[in-house]
């Protein structure tokens, strides 16, 4: 029997929109498999003269597009090897995977890169990014709370971040993150993909001496860190460049 090739094209006029299917007579077929997101349990980390622990890390993940090109982009990933068009929030301090739904994919295609969002998406037809239904608290990419104690005074300071991470500083239609990934050929019997994040690694990239200049509204109360603060920018950079998640393809039984 001749196996038919079915590729699905991400219509870039709307990054959350339509899959255009075309079929030819090759060995490639359409398939789908589970997508999940997971975190890493919080561990104390020393950053300069500070002991830091992440106390809360809620993150929205998706949509996500996996690409056969080495460098994911609007043009190079016009035909995605696999994609999931939704977004789901989860506890990024829990190592237990949270189901995100399914990845729709094409067999026989090798994934080399990916691009993804954090609960906020930007269609080409829109003037700015917008939150998806799976955004944290219905609006945001992440809510992160961490506790920092200075070695000198022993006083704990609690910092709270509310982040909107999206492609807003790039051309319209862009995703928040693009990255090269370890090569993986998609098969017809993929057990699933788990995308794992490490909030402690994010926290290690903050300048706590500078952050200590912010005053608490009352002694011991959490300090809301402004979105334009350097520490907020450091966390956004961690999510998009310097502390990207690992893509864990699940083994076949």
Per-residue CA distances from 219 to 154, 224, 226 (Å): 14, 14, 19
- Write the Ramachandran bin of 78: left for phi over 0, alpha for psi from -120 to 50, otherwise beta: alpha
> Model confidence at 68, in pLDDT bands (50, 70, 90)?
very high
Overall average pLDDT of the 95-101 stretch: 98
Overall average pLDDT of the 154-159 stretch: 93
Overall average pLDDT of the 73-102 stretch: 92
Q: Which domain holds residue 241?
A: 5-249
| Predicted local confidence at residue 127, as pLDDT | 80
Share of the chain above pLDDT 90, in %: 74
* pLDDT above 50: residue 113: yes
Overall average pLDDT of the 103-120 stretch: 96
- Write the Ramachandran bin of 137: left for phi over 0, alpha for psi from -120 to 50, otherwise beta: left
* pLDDT above 70: residue 3: no
**The model's pTM:** 0.87
| Predicted local confidence at residue 27, as pLDDT | 65
Overall average pLDDT of the 193-220 stretch: 95
Pick from 200, 192, 187: which is nearest to 57 by CA?
A: 200
∠ CA 221-222-225, rounded to 5° = 140
Length of the chain as a residue count? 253
Number of structural domains the chain divides into: 1
Q: What is the DSSP string of 92-160?
A: TT--SPEEEEEEEEETTPEEEEEEE-BSEE--TTSSS-EE-TTSBTTTBSEEEEEEEEETTT--EEEEE
∠ CA 142-146-151, rounded to 5° = 155
Residue 160's Cβ-count burial label (10 Å; 0-12, 13-18, 19+) is middle
DSSP summary character for residue 62:
B
Please answer whether residues 202 and 145 qualify as being in contact, where contact means their C-beta atoms are separated by less than 8 angstroms.
Answer: no
Question: Measured between alpha carbons, how far is 37 from 26 in angstroms, rounded to an integer?
Answer: 33
């Amino acid at each position: 029997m001749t196996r038919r090739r079915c590729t699905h094209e991400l219509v870039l006029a709307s990054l959350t929109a339509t899959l255009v299917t075309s079929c030819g007579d090759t060995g490639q077929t359409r398939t789908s498999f589970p997508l999940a997101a997971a975190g890493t349990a919080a561990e104390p980390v020393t950053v300069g003269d500070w002991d830091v622990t992440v106390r809360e890390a809620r993150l929205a993940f998706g949509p996500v597009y996996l690409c056969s090109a080495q460098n994911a982009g609007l043009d190079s990933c016009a035909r995605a090897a696999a994609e999931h068009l939704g977004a789901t929030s989860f506890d990024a301090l829990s190592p237990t995977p949270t189901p995100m739904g399914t990845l729709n994919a094409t067999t026989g295609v090798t994934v080399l890169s990916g691009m993804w969002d954090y609960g906020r998406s930007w269609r080409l037809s829109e003037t700015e990014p917008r939150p998806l239904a799976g955004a944290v608290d219905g609006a945001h990419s992440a809510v992160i709370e961490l506790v920092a104690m200075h070695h000198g005074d022993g006083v704990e300071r609690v910092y709270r971040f509310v982040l909107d991470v999206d492609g807003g500083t790039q051309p319209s239609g862009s995703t928040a993150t693009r990255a090269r990934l370890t090569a993986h050929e998609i098969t017809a019997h993929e057990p699933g993909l788990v995308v794992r994040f490490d909030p402690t690694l994010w926290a290690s990239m903050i300048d706590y001496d500078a952050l200590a200049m912010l005053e608490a509204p009352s002694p011991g109360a959490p300090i809301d860190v402004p979105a334009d603060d350097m520490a907020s920018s450091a966390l956004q950079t961690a999510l998009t460049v310097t502390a990207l998640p690992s893509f864990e393809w699940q083994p076949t039984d």
